[in-house]
Amino acid sequence: MAAPVARSRLRGNAARRTVNVRLEKPAVSRAGVASGSNSVPVIAVTSGEPAGIGPDVCLALARKKFAARIVVLGDREMLGSRARQLGLAARLCDPGAGLTPDSIACLHIPLSSPCRAGTLDPRNAPYVISLIDRAIAGCKAGEFAALTTAPVHKGVINDGGIPFIGHTEYLAERTGTAQVVMMLAGGGLRVALATTHLALKDVPRTLTREGLELTLRGLNAELIRRLGISAPRILVAGLNPHSGEGGYFGREEIEVIEPVLEKLRAEGLQLTGPLPADTLFVPDRLSAADCVLAMYHDQGLPVLKYASFGRGINVTLGLPMIRTSVDHGTAIELAGTGRAEPDSLIEAVQAAIEMAQAETRTAR
C-alpha cells in the first residue's frame, strides 16, 4: 500500500519533546497569507540537516523573487556563518520585518550542538526534527500556507536516538494522516509510489488490495484538488517483470492490482494498467497520462531523476497541508563549497506557492 505510516513510537526525550510554538501572528492577516505584501502566501522552508547543503540552497533563495513571503526555519547564527563561508551577501531578517534585495526571513530555531559544514553530528538530530515540528505547528495554526523541506540525513537522525524513516512518514504520523502518497515531479513527469521507503523484499507483502485502492483514490482526488486536473489519467505499473507474464513471474498483478483497477474503473477513474514497467515510460504512453503510479521506489524514480535530476521535486499528497521538497539528499561533501545547485529547492518552493494560490482561489 502507499506510504504506510510508520508508527515510530518515539522514545525517551524525543517522545516528550514539545515545540515552542511562538507564532509570528503580526505578520499574518489570514491563514498563511502575509499582511502588507499584496496578500501573498507565506511559505515555510525548513533548512534540514545543518551539516549538509540544506542551509546552502536555502540561502540561495534570497537571490530569487517569488510571489510569496519565504520564511526559512533554522539557526540564524549557523545560517549567517554559512553565508559568509559561501561568500553570499544574504541578510537574515525577522519573519515580520520588511525585506530588501538579497535578504530572507529567518525563524530562528537554535542548534542542539555547534555545527560545521560537512561534519555530521547526531547531537543535532533533535534540532532537525524541531524544524519540522515547528513548521507543522505553523501550518496547522494558519501561520504558513505551505511547507517546503530541505533534505535531512535519515541515518544521523536515527543515530541520534530518534526513529525516523523519512519526511513523508513523519509528517503523516505527526498530522494523524492514515494514508499519504509520495509523488515526485520533474522533466514533464509525475511519478507516485504505491510503497515508499521499504526493503525490496518487503514490497510484495506490503502491496495489498486495500492499500492500493486507498492509494489510487487518494492520488486521483489530490491530483484534482491540489493540481487542478479535472479528470486525471493514471498509468499503473505492474510489480513483476512483464507484469507477471500471466502469473508466470508472480501473481500480484492477477491477485492484487487488476482487481483494484477493475473496481475503480467501474467508478469512473481513468486507470491504465497494470503495465510492464520497462515499456511504461515511453513517449506515446506518457503523452496520454497525467501521472504514473509505480509499485516501489526504485521502479519509478530512476526514470524521473534521469529526466530531471537537480530540478525535480517531491510532493506529499493526502496531508492536511501543502508539502513539497527537493528530490535530492544532503550531499554532505558539497556543503559549504559553493557547488550545491539550488534549482530543486527553487522548483519546490515555486510549486508550493502555486498550490497555495490554487487553494486560495478554490476557497473563494
* DSSP assignments along 25-88, one per residue: GGGEEETTEETTSTTPBEEEEE---TTTTHHHHHHHGGGS--SSEEEEEE-HHHHHHHHHHHT-
Average pLDDT score over residue span 106-123: 98
d(CA 236, CA 224): 18
Average pLDDT score over residue span 35-51: 85
Residue 6 has pLDDT above 60, yes or no: no
Residue 33 has pLDDT above 90, yes or no: no
| Closest residue by Cα to residue 179 from 227, 154, 201, 211 | 211
Q: Would you state the pLDDT for residue 310?
A: 84
d(CA 195, CA 325): 18
pTM of the model: 0.84
Each residue's pLDDT tens digit, 186-215: 989 999 999 988 999 999 999 999 999 999
| Closest residue by Cα to residue 34 from 101, 97, 106 | 97
Average pLDDT score over residue span 204-230: 95
Residue 345 has pLDDT above 50, yes or no: yes
Quick one: what percent of the chain has pLDDT higher than 70?
Answer: 89
Residue 15 has pLDDT above 60, yes or no: no
Q: Would you state the pLDDT for residue 363?
A: 62
User: How many H-runs (helices) and E-runs (strands) does the chain carry?
Assistant: 14, 14
CB-CB contact of 252 with 244 (8 Å)? yes
Each residue's pLDDT tens digit, 54-70: 999 999 999 999 999 99
Q: Would you state the pLDDT for residue 292?
A: 99
Tell me how far apart the terminal alpha carbons of the chain are, to the nearest angstrom.
Answer: 35
Q: Would you state the pLDDT for residue 197?
A: 86
CB-CB contact of 7 with 172 (8 Å)? no
pLDDT band at 36 (very low <50, low <70, confident <90, very high): very low
Average pLDDT score over residue span 227-252: 96
d(CA 199, CA 3): 13
DSSP reduced 3-state for 364: coil
Average pLDDT score over residue span 104-116: 97
pLDDT band at 21 (very low <50, low <70, confident <90, very high): very low
- Residue 349: how many other CB atoms lie within 10 Å: 24
- Residue 97: how many other CB atoms lie within 10 Å: 12
Domains in the chain: ranges and CATH: 1-177+322-364 (3.40.718.10), 181-317 (3.40.718.10)
Each residue's pLDDT tens digit, 275-318: 999 999 999 999 999 999 999 999 999 999 999 988 999 999 99
pLDDT band at 39 (very low <50, low <70, confident <90, very high): confident
Residue 2 has pLDDT above 50, yes or no: no
Q: What is the DSSP-derived secondary structure letter of residue 24?
A: -
